[in-house]
Amino acid sequence: MTPWLLLGAAYFAGALPIGLLVARLWKGIDVREHGSGNIGATNVFRVVGPVAGSIVFAVDVLKGLWPPLAASAAGLSSGWQVAAGMAAILGHNFSPFLGFKGGKGIATSLGVLFGVSWKVGVTAFALWTVVVLATRYVSLGSILAAASLAPLMVLFYPGQWTHFAFGLIAGVFAIYKHRGNIDRLRNGTENRIGKEREDDHGTKGEGEQ
């Protein structure tokens, strides 16, 4: 497999709108018309159910995991491994199947982390879990985990600048995708896990994957 073919395959695999497909198969709905309107696992979990949401989360993680592993198996450098992972994230966030729109890339980014820097992936996921359990804000957990990526890369992979660059770019990108959530957190209007909404089309909130 040539590096450029791998990048293309990673992008289009990442672009597959798993949340949209699962919601349609499971419940016959367009998940973009319900809840927060996001195709990520959090919104599918809330709108369709925990099993469907868990499936979407797992597949979105796998979308990010396999490209760097495939690049490594093909003997490509760490730079190509990181590039393949970034291609999957870009595909998820800017899917041609959705008019170049998509999710926020958190689950797919986690998969990439497991593929290129598992120590950072495990630590960031642990941080996300602690923050979400403590505050019940999925978005806050995602934002803080994203902000931790570059420092964690320096801590666990000193001198590996491709890893640092990935942590910095992926972290900044994820935080940018959560800019609406940041405004709601500041205003005290962000929704928490378990908080019932007045209707299925309520205020858009939680930081979906």
Q: Residue 36 has what pLDDT?
A: 79
pLDDT bucket at 199, cuts 50 / 70 / 90: very low
Q: Which domain holds residue 61?
A: 3-187
Q: Which of 38 and 89 is assigned the larger pLDDT?
A: 89
Amino acid at 102: G
What's the whole-number mean pLDDT along residues 106-125?
A: 96
pLDDT at 196: 42
Q: Average of pLDDT values for 108-113?
A: 96
pLDDT at 209: 57
Q: Please count the other Cβ atoms lying within 10 Å of the Cβ belonging to residue 13.
A: 18
β-strand partners of 84 = none
* Pairwise CA distance, residues 37 & 29, whole Å: 12
What mean pLDDT do residues 96-116 have?
A: 93
Q: Is residue 102 part of a domain?
A: yes
**pLDDT at residue 30 above 70?**
yes
Q: What is the pTM of this model?
A: 0.88
Say if residue 97's pLDDT is above 80: yes
Q: Is residue 27 included in any domain, yes or no?
A: yes
Is 194 a member of any domain?
no
Place of tokens 């041609």: 96
Q: What is the mean pLDDT of the chain?
A: 90
Q: Is residue 197 part of a domain?
A: no
Q: What is the pLDDT of residue 55?
A: 96
Copy the structure tokens of residue 67: 């490209």
134 domain-assigned: yes
Model confidence band, residue 202 (pLDDT cutoffs 50, 70, 90)? very low
> How many C-beta neighbours within 10 Å does residue 98 have?
16
Helix, strand, coil percentages, rounded to 5, for the chain? 70, 0, 25
Q: Lowest-confidence range among 16-30, 44-58, 162-176, 185-199? A: 185-199
Confidence of residue 33 (pLDDT cuts 50, 70, 90): very high
State pLDDT tens for residues 163-190. Answer: 999 999 999 999 998 998 999 999 998 8
The answer as to whether 148 is a domain residue is: yes
Please check the confidence at residue 141 and state whether its pLDDT lies above 50: yes
- Confirm whether 204 is domain-assigned: no
How many domains does the structure of the chain reveal?
1
List pLDDT tens digits, range 60-86.
999 999 999 999 999 999 999 999 999
